[in-house]
Amino acid sequence: MKCKILETAGEMFLSFGFKSVTMDDIAQKMSISKKTIYTHFSNKRILIEETTFGLFQFIKCGIDDIREKNYNPIEELYEIKNFILKHLKDETSSPQYQLNKYYPKIHATLMKKQFTVMQECVADNLQKGIDQGLFRKEIDVDFITRIYFKGMTGIKDLDTFPLDTFSMNYLMENYIDYHVRGIATEKGIQTLEQLKTSI
C-alpha cells in the first residue's frame, strides 16, 4: 500500500503541484481513507519528501541506462531531455519551482543530490565529446559542468520563464542547443544539425 500511495501522490504532485494537492485529494483518488495514508506517512511533508527522493532515484536510474547505450554525446543530451520530460510532466506544472517555494529544505537537499549526479553525468558527456572530436579540446570541463547545471535549473524559474510563454520542452531544447553550440567543433555542429533535422 505504501508504494501505491507514493506512486499516486507522485503523479498528482507532478500534475497539479505540491501545494494544491491535499491528503484528502490523494485518499479520494485512491478510494481509501485519509487515515490509511497517515498510517504510512505521519504528515504531508514526509510524503512529499519520500515521493521526491523516490522520483529522483527513478530518474537517476533512467539516466544511467541512457548513458550505458551507444549514443554520441549530443544524442545523449537529447535522449536524457526526452526521458526527463516524459516522467516529470514539466509541460503542465513546475514541480521544482513549487518545491522551492513551499518546501525549501526538501528542495535544497534535492538540489545537492541533483548536482552530484549531474556533475558526474555532464563531465562524462563532455569528455566523451572531446574524445570524439565533437567538443573543443580546450574547454574547461569542470566550469562548463557547473554552468550547465545552473542553466538547467535556472530555466525552471517561472518568474523568469513563465510556462504560458515558454513550454518546458522549448526551454530545454533551446538550452541544449545553446550549450552545444558554445562548446562544439565544426564536426559537433554538423552532428547537432543532423540530429535536429531527424527529430
Percent helix, strand, coil in the chain, to 5, is: 75, 0, 25
As a whole-number percent, the residues of the chain with pLDDT over 70 amount to 97
Rg from Cα positions in the chain: 19
Q: How many CB atoms lie within 10 A of CB 176?
A: 20
CATH architecture of the domain 52-198 equals Orthogonal Bundle (1.10)
Mind listing the pLDDT tens digit for each residue in 18-35?
988 999 999 999 999 999
Residue type, 96: Q
Mind listing the pLDDT tens digit for each residue in 55-107?
999 999 999 999 999 899 999 999 999 999 888 765 556 777 789 889 999 99
Please compute the mean of the pLDDT values over residues 136-147 and round it to a whole number.
Answer: 98
Give the start-to-end residue ranges of the domains of the chain.
Answer: 52-198
Contacts of 76 (CB under 8 A, 6+ apart): 66, 67, 125, 128
C-alpha grid cell, residue 179: 550549450
C-alpha grid cell, residue 149: 547545471
What pTM did the predictor assign? 0.88
